[in-house]
């Protein structure tokens, strides 16, 4: 199909049945009024005018040139859309999405077939909307998303409390505090801004009300009933991201209508993600849309059910530009055969300590509370220290079991499983397990990990305290991996009772007694597969470059006060100030986080996340400064938040919030 010219509609108002106007940006193939076209819809709170314009402008023009309209709509209360956001993936949001799909399908330029696409929030809601079966929605592409909102998102993981929950709550507080663009909404911009500032929720308050897997998290978790899902779904993720489990879970639950694709990437679209190699996502997406939105018989339904990049012994580095490895395909995904390791398969308990002398004895483990500083972010946006670094520092505070050097390479794809008997002298404790590739020079690459709040050992819906001092069987399913351990490398299992700051500690620090003789680790064998080649994008730099008015800056560090036992973990991210060349709107966001903990005192754990968001044009400048904190007592989570807004140099708004939320076996 030859490329078509297209027109960009910078702002189209779509009025919902309740009178709310939502703002859309549309890439429209020319001639669609005479020759109707399919459309791809993306529904986000991240602001089409500035927040996602860079990636939108790398994607939707290519779709439009292929004769596919792109419709990018801001969720209510974001960008230039009316109203106030009411939470994540709420019934109102999903109902609005269904209404928008019907609107798109009814337009004279539409052929009546709509696809829905997105990464992260947009990846979540396209799966959730598809489960509602709006008639015009024919296919989805979901990137870096989840089928299980409780266990595979930024809030909780197997009953542990992820610090990303505060980080994300602070992010959304900052994002939703931003003003609409006066150039689009006119003189009412300030009234709209004040309405948002006054009424936007602090999401973490609601999230903390649901510390177990209840109806709140089941809503929007399509794993609750995969039978409700009948739309073809291309589900994509990266091994460097927190959402790495979703593609395999999707094909296991949805079946043949789902196709899984997993690369080495961080939380980005595959045509501009790191680490490389990238893949030509745009060509793949166009083929997907043409198959399901145009009924083009191009064989997309026969793509392998799983395609995955098998990492081949990458080393951690200050910036992971490229991961060595190979692409493989499995036509049909089935439960993998497991490669089982017991104590006898591990040569040492710790470097230099033979396992034989300890395997029939219980081992007491209580990791330093700051074990985990090399873990990186739960979800990653850059291939730097956001990714897991050399694990030797964290392994020093862990129980380490290690194989002898491998006589031959071993290849794996799927989720590892750890079985273990242990006991604890408190109601709850956390267990972290990490699979580590130990290179011949000692460098330690984290391959995957899993965490478990032991009160959730029997499930996340009805946690129960540990039976103090009583030996208990537990099973921990780790995150998915696609990895080749080369010959001469060692496979290490690292166990710790802390994984801070990624995981917040329980109120006490009792340690665990592990029965090493009971330990069993099962790694999923790659098994029968085909080697495949995934084309890389022709354009090595597909993102547009906007004029830079001030440079970006990034810093991440760990500081240990050896006198007072205090560890501080700091994050600083400044996007720099960039101006959109067409709209003249310049924006900048600064994230500044501080996490701290004192050794021996889990109740000392605190986190603070502060954001500055600037928007400006000549003779117009607005800024919001928002902050969110978490601290704790033995019985409560203590959260607070504040927002201040400025027009020019004048403060025009301020509010603050404090709340104590009871801990629920967490």
Task: Give residue-wise pLDDT tens across range 401-419.
Answer: 999 999 999 999 999 999 9
Query: Which residues touch 115 (CB under 8 Å, ≥6 apart)?
Result: 38, 39, 40, 41, 137, 138, 139, 140, 141, 288, 289, 292, 293
For the segment 125-184, what is each residue's pLDDT rounded down to a tens digit?
Answer: 999 999 999 999 999 999 999 999 999 999 999 999 999 999 999 999 999 999 999 999
User: Please, what is the average pLDDT of the chain?
Assistant: 96
Beta bridge partners of 445: 437
The per-residue pLDDT for 228 is: 84
pLDDT at 351 over 70: no
DSSP element (H, E) containing 29: strand 21-29
The per-residue pLDDT for 268 is: 97
- In this prediction, residues 351-366 reach a mean pLDDT of 69
Q: Are 607 and 616 in contact (CB under 8 A)?
A: no
Q: Are 289 and 115 in contact (CB under 8 A)?
A: yes
* CA atoms of 357 and 521, how far apart (whole Å): 20
Buried b (16+ CB within 10 A) or exposed e, 409-433: ebbbbbbbbbebbbbbebbbbbbbb
DSSP letters for 390-429:
-THHHHTTSEEEEPPPPSS-EEEEE--EEEEEEE-SSS--
pLDDT-derived band at 360, boundaries 50, 70, 90 = low
DSSP element (H, E) containing 11: strand 6-15
Beta bridge partners of 437: 445, 491
pLDDT at 442 over 90: yes
Task: Note the Cα 59 to chain centre separation in Å.
Answer: 21
pLDDT-derived band at 361, boundaries 50, 70, 90 = confident
DSSP designation for 533: -
> Which pair of structure tokens corresponds to residue 128?
């959730």
**Which residue bears the tokens 């709170």?**
45
Length of the chain: 666
The per-residue pLDDT for 400 is: 95
pLDDT at 353 over 60: no
* CA atoms of 364 and 601, how far apart (whole Å): 19
Percent share of the chain, pLDDT over 70: 98
Query: Which residues touch 356 (CB under 8 Å, ≥6 apart)?
Result: none
The per-residue pLDDT for 466 is: 97
For the segment 461-495, what is each residue's pLDDT rounded down to a tens digit?
Answer: 999 999 999 999 999 999 999 999 999 999 999 99
Q: Check residues 370 and 227 and name the one with the higher pLDDT.
A: 370
The per-residue pLDDT for 357 is: 53
- In this prediction, residues 266-273 reach a mean pLDDT of 97
pLDDT-derived band at 344, boundaries 50, 70, 90 = confident
DSSP letters for 102-143:
HHHHHSTTEEEEEEEEEETHHHHHHHHHHHT--TTEEEEEEE
Other Cβ atoms closer than 10 A to 381: 15
- Give me the sign of the Cα torsion angle 88, 90, 92, 95: positive
């Amino acid at each position: 199909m030859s490329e078509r010219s297209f027109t960009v509609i910078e702002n189209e108002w779509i009025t919902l049945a309740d009178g709310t106007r939502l703002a859309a940006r549309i890439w429209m193939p020319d001639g669609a009024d005479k020759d109707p076209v399919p459309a791809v819809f993306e529904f986000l709170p991240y602001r089409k005018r500035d927040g996602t314009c860079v990636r939108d402008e790398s994607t939707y023009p290519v779709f439009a040139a292929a004769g596919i309209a792109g419709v990018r709509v801001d969720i209510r209360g974001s960008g230039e859309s009316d109203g106030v956001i009411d939470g994540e993936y709420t019934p109102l949001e999903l109902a609005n999405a269904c209404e928008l799909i019907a609107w798109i399908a009814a337009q004279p330029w539409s052929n009546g077939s709509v696809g829905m696409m997105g990464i992260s929030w947009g990846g979540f809601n396209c799966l959730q909307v598809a489960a509602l079966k709006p008639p015009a929605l024919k296919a989805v592409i979901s990137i870096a998303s989840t089928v299980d909102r409780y266990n595979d998102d930024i809030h909780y993981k197997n009953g542990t409390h992820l610090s990303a929950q505060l980080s994300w709550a602070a992010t959304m507080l900052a994002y939703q505090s931003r003003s609409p663009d006066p150039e689009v909404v006119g003189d009412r911009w300030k009234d709209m801004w004040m309405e948002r500032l006054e009424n936007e929720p602090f999401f973490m308050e609601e999230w903390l009300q649901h510390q177990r897997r209840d109806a709140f998290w089941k809503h929007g978790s399509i794993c609750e009933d995969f039978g409700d899902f009948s739309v073809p779904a291309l589900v994509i993720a990266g091994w460097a991201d927190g959402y790495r489990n979703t593609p395999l879970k999707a094909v296991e639950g949805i079946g043949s209508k789902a196709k899984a694709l997993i690369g080495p990437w961080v939380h980005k679209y595959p045509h501009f993600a790191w680490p490389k190699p990238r893949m030509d996502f745009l060509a793949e997406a166009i083929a997907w849309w043409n198959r399901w939105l145009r009924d083009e018989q191009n064989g997309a339904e026969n793509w392998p059910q799983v395609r995955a990049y098998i990492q081949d012994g990458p080393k951690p580095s200050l910036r992971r530009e490229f991961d060595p490895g190979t692409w493989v395909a499995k036509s049909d995904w089935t439960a993998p055969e497991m490669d089982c390791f017991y104590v006898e398969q591990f040569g040492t308990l710790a470097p230099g300590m033979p396992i034989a002398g300890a395997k029939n004895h219980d081992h007491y483990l209580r990791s330093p509370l700051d074990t985990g500083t090399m873990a990186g972010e739960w979800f990653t946006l850059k291939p730097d220290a956001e990714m897991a670094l050399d694990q030797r520092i964290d392994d020093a505070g862990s129980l380490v079991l290690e194989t002898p050097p491998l006589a031959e390479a071993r290849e794996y794809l799927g989720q590892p499983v750890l079985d273990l008997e242990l006991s604890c002298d408190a109601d709850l404790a956390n267990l972290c397990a990490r699979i580590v590739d130990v290179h011949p020079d000692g460098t330690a690459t984290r391959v995957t990990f899993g965490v478990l709040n032991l009160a959730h050992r029997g499930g996340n819906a009805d946690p129960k305290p540990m039976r103090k001092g009583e030996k208990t069987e537990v099973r921990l399913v780790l995150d998915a991996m696609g990895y080749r351990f080369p010959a001469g490398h060692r496979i290490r299992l690292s166990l710790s009772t802390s994984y801070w700051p990624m995981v917040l500690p329980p109120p006490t620090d009792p340690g665990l007694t592990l029965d090493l003789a009971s330990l069993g680790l099962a790694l999923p064998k790659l098994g029968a597969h085909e080697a495949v080649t995934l084309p890389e994008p022709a354009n090595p730099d597909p993102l547009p470059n906007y004029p830079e008015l001030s440079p970006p800056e990034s810093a991440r560090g760990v500081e240990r006060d050896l006198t007072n036992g205090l560890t501080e973990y700091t994050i600083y991210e400044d996007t720099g100030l960039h101006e959109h060349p067409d709209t003249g709107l310049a924006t900048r966001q600064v994230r500044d986080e501080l996490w701290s903990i004192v050794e021996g005192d889990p109740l000392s754990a605190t986190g603070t996340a502060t954001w500055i968001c600037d928007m400006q044009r000549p003779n117009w400048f607005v800024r919001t400064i928002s902050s969110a904190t978490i601290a704790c007592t033995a019985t409560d989570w203590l959260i607070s938040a504040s927002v201040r807004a400025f027009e020019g140099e004048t403060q025009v708004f301020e509010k603050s919030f404090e709340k104590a939320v009871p801990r629920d076996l967490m």
